[in-house]
Each structure stands twice: as structure tokens, then as C-alpha cells.
Structure 1
């Protein structure tokens, strides 16, 4: 099992990061990708990944929420980080028109610049899209032939949006959102439409704690050690063997991010 989305730099993990990684190993995970969301946190993610060689890797990127700060200095810093052996992808980058913490024009500029950087460096991209599907696809599509890999992280869109992402050749990251009986049912119904070789699984910890965990954890903080639960549930809804699915999605992650 491989968790492709862990926000290990989050302050929610400040007191027990080593224990979080240890619990993930004990739960049967074979790897984790630590998410970078701005230049500073990308550097922190790379440093954390270096502490756990062969088990943790990192992304380096600027989330759309932070896109208003994009500039040449940020691009240069990401380029430096991407040269590190533990940095496996450019991102988290993309568009988020739900909250617009950065204005749409800044988001589009930062997104396009990071797609160009990933193409230059031949790194896969780790992507975010919320309430921005049409522009997201329009900006992404011209770059796809130049990129070694694309994953749409934490996908929660419609069937039409899923089909558009798959048509571009993107892999799809599924989180514990799918375990939410209030808002995850539409996504749950789409699981069988994702080809097995394009499915990736993630916790997005410390966010998106699966609502159907039993017993419920005392804390609402999500952890990568809960990934086996997501694997189990997705396997049920896809009518696949959980052990096989865990191994398959692990293989998919290693292939996409070109990991040993």
C-alpha cells in the first residue's frame, strides 16, 4: 500500500511526526508521498522525506491557495528542490475557484508555470482541482504530451469530469471522501469506471478522516495508518480483492512517480 497524499508538514503532526510514520509502517504501508503546498513547505516536505529514505518521498509545488505569491524566486526554489532524489513530483498545483484565496488569474499563471517546470524537468505532476474543471482541463491538456505522468489528487468530481481526466491519460487519486455516506456516494458510484492501472489511493492526512472507521478514533485527525481502511472499502465497492488492490495501487504509485 502506498499513500500518495500526506500533509506531514501540517502543524497537526508537530508533536508526533516520527510516531505517525511508524504507525504507517506498522499498518502495512510501503511508502508515502509528502505533499508540498508552497516553497517553504515543499522544502520541509523534502527534509522530512530524507529522514525516511525508501519509505517517504515528497512533492514540490505551490497550491492554488498560495498562487498569488508566485514569482521567479519561487520557480527557482522549486527547481532546486526538484533536483533532490526524494522529490518525486511537481505540485500540489492546479486551480481552486471554490475559495479563491488567490485570484483566478494568479492561480492560472502559477499553474501554467508549474506545468512548464514539470515538462522541463520531466517530473510527474500532482494536481488539485476544485470548482474549476473547465479551465483546469483547458490549461492542462496542452502540456500532457510533454509530461511523464499526471495524477489528479483527491478527485471528487462528476462522471463527466472523471471521463475528461481519464481521456487526458491522468491517474486518479481517491481519498477517504469516498467513505462519507453524506457526500461521497456519487464518487463511490464512479469507482468502477477508473481503470485499475490508473487508480491511486491516499489519505490526505490530517484531513478527510474516513467517517465509517470503526471504532471511531478519539481524534478527528486523519493519519496514513488509516489507508488500509480506504483500500478495504474501495475494494468492496469495486468488487476487487483488497490485498490485490493494495498491491496494485502501490505498483501504480511507484510506476507513476518512478520510485525504486
Structure 2
């Protein structure tokens, strides 16, 4: 059974020169389908275009990352609503809060997060969520909308056990990346991942970021690709005390249900 990468930034400029080869390598390494992350107005349009040309292998999200919240306007809102109706767009986002870098003012981030949650609620679409150093505000806003959303995934989860319990209590899904393969930063995730129910756990590379440190040899450019998703799968399976086959089957089934694949 082929894996599903639920979060790959394939619109990133580093993929422009060898995009077809990236897809071919993903196939060769057992990754069958990928969800292309839309994280800005331009990026969401590009993600949709890739999905339309993807031959049923690529799907998209449409949203504006909190880093770009300062650029969000009524025209962007209207475009996200239009793109969200396209069959290739399977979730609204990447949206949320990021108080680590504060590239956009926090009050603007919160407003833009709510506007995108409203779009998802109106369209009946799941949400693809980002949260960094903003758990309290993020949880408060998400809680207000959660019963209007069909599903929600906290993508690239790297937070604490308390945060994980809060998200699971809201019936959220959890996306795990190569962060868990980092023996320096990801040790706590190795302890937490076993407490995520199988029907709430999904896998993602967040390519080209977060190259798993278990990849050998490391590529010279340190670029992550969907082809490396199995490294994440193997680490998560080991930490959960499961076989790779069992984890593959459960995460694929969960991802298919979440994104309607």
C-alpha cells in the first residue's frame, strides 16, 4: 500500500527545476498521493494548478499562512472561497497562528485565522492548521468554530503533551513530520506519538523543510522531498510499537477519510 503525504510544499521554488523527477522519486519510494499545501494567495493558486495537472495523484489546500496574514484582504477572501469549491482543493489552509516569528501582527493573524475558519465552515471543508508558540489563542479561536467544521488537522505537530491532549479533546487530527526523526528536538514526540489514536494520525513531509535526520546519506542541498516519507513512517511505527505495514494502512485510511480521497 502506497503512503499519502498530507503536506508537501511542492510550489516551493526549489522544486521548479525537477518537479517531474520529484514525483517519480516519490512513486519509486512508495508515496502514491500528495496534498500540496497552499500557504499564500499565490501559493494556493499554484497548488490548485499542480493538483489539476496531477492526474489524480495530487490534491491541494487553499489558504494563507499566518506569516502572510498581513497581505490578506477581501479579494483574497473571495479567491479562497472560489478555490475552496474546486474539487481538487480538499481543505482550507494552511492557516493558524505563529507567535514565534510574528511576521504579521498577532491581532491580524487572529482575524485572518477566523476568516479562513469561517470559509471552511461555510464550504463544509476540513482545515489544515498551523500553530507555533500560540497555543492558548489558537485553541480559543478553534474551539469557537470546531463544531461547524467537518474535520481539522493540526499539521506539523511539535508541541507539548498538554497541547496534544487539548487538540484530541477537540476531535482534531494530528500531522507528524520529520521533526520526530530529530534526536535533538523530537525526543518528546517519540513519547507522545503512541497516545494519538490511529484514526487521528497522519504523516507528512512538509517538504522542502524538515528533512528527516535519519536519511542517509543526507542530500547535499538538504532539501526534503515526499520520497522520504517512509523515514517518518518507520520512526513513528517504532515509537508506537507497530509494524510499518500496520501504520501505513492506518494512516492511509485516515488520510483518505479526512481529505475525501
Whether TM exceeds 0.5 here: the answer is yes
Superposed displacement of residue 27, structure 1: 1.0
1:54 aligns with 2:49: no
Superposed displacement of residue 258, structure 1: 1.1
Could you list the runs of 5+ residues in structure 2 that have no partner in the other structure?
Answer: none
CA distance in 2, matches of 1:138, 1:79: 24
Superposed displacement of residue 70, structure 1: 1.4
2:69 to 67, 70, 90: 67
Partner of 1:30: helix, strand, or coil?
Answer: strand
1:115 aligns with 2:117: yes
Number of residue pairs aligned between Structure 1 and Structure 2:
259
1:205 aligns with 2:207: yes
What residue number does 1:245 align with? 247
Superposed displacement of residue 185, structure 1: 0.3
Counting only pairs closer than 5 Å after superposition, residues 77-116 of structure 1 correspond to structure 2 as 77-116=79-118
What residue number does 1:225 align with? 227
Q: 116-125 vs 27-36, which deviates more?
A: 27-36
Partner of 2:31: helix, strand, or coil?
Answer: coil
What residue number does 1:141 align with? 143
Describe the superposition over 1:105-148 as per-residue Cα deviations: whole angstroms up to 9, x where unpaired. 10000000000000000000000000000000000001111111
Could you list the runs of 5+ residues in structure 1 that have no partner in the other structure?
Answer: none
Partner of 1:210: helix, strand, or coil?
Answer: coil
What residue number does 2:40 align with? 38
CA distance in 1, matches of 2:217, 2:47: 31
1:255 to 254, 257, 260: 257
CA distance in 1, matches of 2:125, 2:202: 17
1:173 to 172, 175, 186: 175
Asked if the contact 1:61/1:78 (under 8 Å) is kept, the reply is yes
Counting only pairs closer than 5 Å after superposition, residues 121-132 of structure 1 correspond to structure 2 as 121-132=123-134
What residue number does 2:14 align with? 12
